[in-house]
Amino acid sequence: MITLAIQKKGRLASASMELLNDCGIHLHNTGSDKLKTAAVNFPVELLFLRDDDIPRYVEDGIADIGIVGDNVVLESGAGIERILPLGFGKCRMSLALPKYVDYNGIHDLDGKRIATSYDHILKKFLKAKGIRAEIHKISGSVEITPGIDMADAIFDIVSTGSTLISNGLKEVETILESEASVYAHRELSDEKKATINDLCFRIQSVNTAKDHKYILLNVPNEKLETVCRILPGMKSPTIMPLGEAGWSSVHSVIQEDRFWELIQQLKEAGAESLLVTDIEKMIL
Ligand code: PRT
Ligand code: ZN
């Protein structure tokens, strides 16, 4: 049995629960006020926590693993191991200034007041760059501080950038990229490691499937070679003869992020009747 800590409420909470569900892990229904719950069909118990508490719970071994943003783990300084990035909760941590202030490089921040909730990450970064600045740690609404003359700059999480824009700020330096990841306690029994490997295998199969599409297309035999050269596939594509003489059906798997580009190329190469479907699980 392993204990997995996930965020109770917030940006990572529903994606974490959805991921477990996609992995075929079903939970005992314990209502919305739950602090912990066990799965009915997998040896895992879930702890629902504030995201800031997750690194410490994993470091102390109260939870064996946790799903939490890389930014939160770095800020906590917890000695835990990142075992699997998950591809959701993506964001960056950046320095931003009022948009009318000139910016020529990091040394412009020397002697300035910077507001942030992430003072450890910022301190480390400024030290490495040899910048002396006054760090003002505040717990929320960092983006309003330059407007009320509490700070000259901010260091905060950015996703679309619209919060910065609506507060009259511009992003000037990205210090780190972050996403939700699985982190593990440093010393685990072999039995727990095996269960965690099983869980990570399921997660990878689900996430790889999300990044790919299954496609079927009809191709005149004389164009097969050109079409197959365009298709990356997992190995080579499957080719089957169609009922109509001189035509074949080609099946393959393509990456979601190259989808539109490849479809266009395939059409130009003579493919017809393209059918595209989602893949539920994919094991490489
Ligand atoms: O209650 P609890 O402590 O558990 O949650 P929380 O309020 O501390 O965190 P929560 O749920 O807001 O975020 C959890 C994690 O999601 C963060 O630690 C990041 O790893 C990740 N994440 C991804 C984000 C964002 N995107 C994000 N956009 N966290 C916060 N934001 C905020 C940001 O602080 C800023 O105010 O959204 C605003 C910026 O968004 P844009 O799109 O306008 O740039
Ligand atoms: Zn938090």
Question: Could you tell me the CATH number of the domain that includes residue 204?
Answer: 3.40.190.10
| 34: pLDDT strictly greater than 90 | no
- The pLDDT score that the predictor gives to residue 173 is 97
Q: Clarify whether residues 185 and 83 are in a common domain.
A: yes
Residue to mutate, 157, 177, 179, 183, ligand 1, most ligand atoms under 8 Å from C-beta: 157
Tell me what pLDDT residue 30 has.
Answer: 62
Token pair listed for 254: 């393509």
**Which ligand 1 atom sits nearest the alpha carbon of residue 72?**
18
Q: Is residue 109 part of a domain?
A: yes
Are 82 and 96 in the same domain? no
Share of the chain above pLDDT 70, in %: 98
Mean pLDDT of the residues in the chain: 95
* Same domain assignment for residues 101 and 174: yes
Residue 64 domain boundaries: 2-88+179-209
Q: How large a percentage of the chain has pLDDT more than 90?
A: 90
State whether the beta carbon of 15 lies less than 6 angstroms from ligand 1: no
CATH number at residue 227: 3.30.70.120
**Pick from 213-222, 233-242, 250-259: least confident:** 233-242
Q: Distance, CA 60 to ligand 2 centroid (Å)? A: 19
Q: Looking at the domain assignment, is residue 283 inside a domain?
A: no
pLDDT range class, residue 29, cuts 50, 70, 90: confident
pLDDT of 234 = 61
Query: Is residue 232's pLDDT more than 80?
Result: no
pTM metric for this prediction:
0.92
Q: Are residues 224 and 201 in the same domain?
A: no
- 122, 157, 178 - which closes a domain: 178
109 in the same domain as 69: no
Q: Per residue in 36-68, pLDDT tens?
A: 999 999 999 999 999 999 999 999 999 999 999
Q: Would you say the CB of residue 24 lies under 6 angstroms from ligand 1?
A: no
Counted domains in the chain: 3
Claim to verify: residue 48 and residue 187 sit in the same structural domain: yes
